Structure 1
Amino acid sequence: MSTYTARALAPEVLAELRATDDAGRVPVPQRDEEGGAPLRCCLRHSRAGERIILVSYAPLRRWAAATGADPGPYDEQGPVFVHAEECAGPEGDGLAFTNAHRVLRRYSADGRILGGDLVGEGFGDAELAKAFDDPAVALVHVRAVEYGCFHYEVRRP
């Protein structure tokens, strides 16, 4: 079991995104015929036949609003897959999507990028401890290497 926990998108955020995503678009559900899409609602890969949507999500936006941070131009948005309908949420209580190289992007309390680290397949507590070694780091985003897509957020334990 990990000291750190992957934070899936919150149910209230998912409800908003399923209605209108962060780019102002109404998502279009599709049946995932093959499976394998990384779902940010339950932090697992989709299964063949599940209904999913691809939405535009701004991972710092709601955190910044809740904390008073102003991420400025770092308030980016990008594509993420979620179930088209409400789901049960994460099936585990640890880290997810550790099956490939990832980037751990570090952010300060004011929403600025403090740096990033490329980590290998099977990353865990040691890599996250290193990312949080700097006391100025408020949160870490786990991102895909290939496209830079947001997978999930990790905060200090």
Structure 2
Amino acid sequence: MLTITALTTDTARALQAGGLDANGQTPERSTSGGAGNPCRHCLRYIPEGADMLILAHRPFPDPQPYAEVGPIFLCAEECARHEGDAMPEVLQGSPDYLIKGYGQDDRIVYGTGAVVEAERMMGQAEEIFADPRIAYIHIRSARNNCYQARIDRE
């Protein structure tokens, strides 16, 4: 079984408390415009008018050549982490996503990257996980390459 994995609560709480982002900067505070601002912890859109954080995130344990850093949004106030089998709200708002597999060494496994229609994403992830070298899969914006969430084997 596959599961969508959100940003950890420890990471979210540290950033919400003013911790530094992947670039060593304090996250910027802003006001959400609504549906275009997906929180990477609750995996819901930050409501219009709500406070949010904009920050640089590296969804890898250590810096290395394949450890991409990019912008993400996060609820400024504490929110509940996405859990469970349901497709999160933020992954229902785009027609397609870029997904790609990574090995235990946190490096891209070449040949696994694909832009897939949203309704085919989990099926394509199953196919990628058929490769024993795959440890996890990233879900990214097909248009801006922004990190959305991770897919793990349960």
Q: Structure 2: where are the runs of 5+ without partners?
A: none
What is aligned with 1:127? 124
Distance change in 2, residues 1:33/1:116 (3 Å): closer
Percentage of pairs with the same residue: 30
Q: Structure 1: where are the runs of 5+ without partners?
A: 65-70
Aligned residues of 1:35 and 1:48 also touching (Cα < 8 A): yes
Aligned residues of 1:35 and 1:47 also touching (Cα < 8 A): yes
What is aligned with 2:44? 44
Output one character per residue of 1:94-138: Cα deviation in whole Å (capped at 9) or x when no partner: 333143210111001111101312110323432111111101000
What is aligned with 2:5? 7
TM-score, scaled relative to structure 1: 0.84
What is aligned with 1:101? 96
TM-score, scaled relative to structure 2: 0.85
Q: How many residues matched?
A: 147
What is aligned with 2:107? 112
Secondary structure of 2:11 counterpart: helix
CA distance in 2, matches of 1:117, 1:86: 33
What is aligned with 1:55? 55
The Cα of 1:155 is off from its aligned counterpart by 1.1
Aligned residues of 2:67 and 2:107 also touching (Cα < 8 A): no
What is aligned with 1:29? 29
